[in-house]
Structure 1
Amino acid sequence: MGQLLVFAVISSMTADWRYMMWSLIVAMTAGVSSIINTWQAQKRADKEMARKS
């Protein structure tokens, strides 16, 4: 969130919105990969809990 805010300020000061576009791409890439990793870890944890029950 902070990264997007910084790039939004830079983009508005320079009137060059490419800064914002690139920051969105990076933020989305990091966010999606984190969501996938969390989802996979939760799946493994659920399988382990089912195995122990």
Structure 2
Amino acid sequence: MLKEKLVYLHKIKTRQEARQKIFEYITCFYNGKRIHSSIGYLSPNIYERIFMFAA
């Protein structure tokens, strides 16, 4: 998934640029939109918000 959505679509020139793009991908797409069956088919961001307010 990471390669399809990030690596193959962008020409990354430096290691720092790669780190930044991967960080953005994880925080924006993966944790924000992608649901996970292990946490009740919620995105990690939503699950974290529910957990924080329940505690």
TM range (shorter): 0.3 to 0.5
| Structure with greater Cα Rg | 1
TM-score (norm 2): 0.41
TM-score (norm 1): 0.42
Hey, which of these two has a bigger chunk of helix by percent? 1
